[in-house]
Structure 1
Amino acid sequence: MKPVIIVNFKTYASATGEGAVALAKTCERVAEERDADIRVAVQAADIYRVASAVSLPVYAEHVDPIEPGRHTGYILPEDVKEAGAVGTLLNHSEHPIDMETLARTVKDCNETGLKFIICAPDAEKGSIVAQFLPEFVAVEPPELISGDVSVSEAEPELIEEAAKKIPAPLLVGAGIHDGDDVQVAMELGAKGVLLASGVTKADDPEDVLNDLLDLDDTN
Structure 2
Amino acid sequence: MFVLVNLKAYDADPVEVASAAADVDAESDTDVAIAPQTADLAAVADTGAETWAQHTSPVESGSHTGQPLAEGLARNGAVGTLINHSERRLSLADIDGAIAAAERAGLETVVCANNPHQIAAVAALGPDAVAIEPPELIGTGTPVSQADPAIVRDAVEAAESVDPDIDVYCGAGISTAADVEAAADLGADGVLLASGVAKADDPATALQELIQ
Place the TM-score, normalised by the shorter chain, in its bin.
over 0.9
Partner residue, 1:106: 99
Deviations 1:112-164 (A, max 9, x none): 21111100011110111001221210111100000021111111111111111
Partner residue, 2:59: 66
* 1:111 alignment partner, SS class: helix
Once residues 46 and 119 of structure 1 are traced to their aligned partners in structure 2, the CA distance between those partners, rounded to angstroms, is 22
Partner residue, 1:139: 132
Once residues 160 and 67 of structure 1 are traced to their aligned partners in structure 2, the CA distance between those partners, rounded to angstroms, is 36
TM-score (norm 2): 0.94
Once residues 34 and 121 of structure 2 are traced to their aligned partners in structure 1, the CA distance between those partners, rounded to angstroms, is 25
Q: Which amino acid aligns with 1:6?
A: L
* 1:84 alignment partner, SS class: coil
Q: What's the CA shift for 1:211?
A: 2.1
Identity across matched positions, percent: 39
Q: For 1:52, which of 46, 52, 70 is the aligned residue? A: 46
Once residues 198 and 136 of structure 1 are traced to their aligned partners in structure 2, the CA distance between those partners, rounded to angstroms, is 22
* 1:38 alignment partner, SS class: strand
Partner residue, 2:31: 37
Q: For 1:194, which of 187, 192, 195 is the aligned residue? A: 192
* 2:200 alignment partner, SS class: coil
Once residues 9 and 77 of structure 2 are traced to their aligned partners in structure 1, the CA distance between those partners, rounded to angstroms, is 19
Q: For 2:110, which of 105, 114, 117 is the aligned residue? A: 117
Give yes or no for the alignment of 1:157 onto 2:146. Answer: no
Partner residue, 1:170: 168
* 1:118 alignment partner, SS class: strand
Q: What's the CA shift for 1:53?
A: 2.2
**Worse overlay, 3-12 or 160-169:** 160-169
Q: Which amino acid aligns with 2:69?
A: L
* 1:5 alignment partner, SS class: strand
**Worse overlay, 202-211 or 182-191:** 202-211
Deviations 1:72-126 (A, max 9, x none): 2111111001111111100000000001111111112122211111000111101
Check conservation: 2:42, 2:77, Cα contact below 8 A: yes
Partner residue, 1:92: 85
Partner residue, 2:69: 76
Once residues 185 and 156 of structure 1 are traced to their aligned partners in structure 2, the CA distance between those partners, rounded to angstroms, is 8
Q: Which amino acid aligns with 2:112?
A: C
Query: Could you say what the CA RMSD is over the residues aligned between the two structures, in angstroms?
Result: 1.1
**Worse overlay, 161-170 or 180-189:** 161-170
Check conservation: 2:22, 2:47, Cα contact below 8 A: no
* 1:13 alignment partner, SS class: coil
Partner residue, 2:203: 205
Unaligned 5+ residue runs, structure 2? 161-165
Partner residue, 1:28: 22
Q: What's the CA shift for 1:189?
A: 0.4
Partner residue, 2:163: none
* 1:194 alignment partner, SS class: strand
TM-score (norm 1): 0.91
Check conservation: 2:34, 2:51, Cα contact below 8 A: yes
* 1:132 alignment partner, SS class: coil
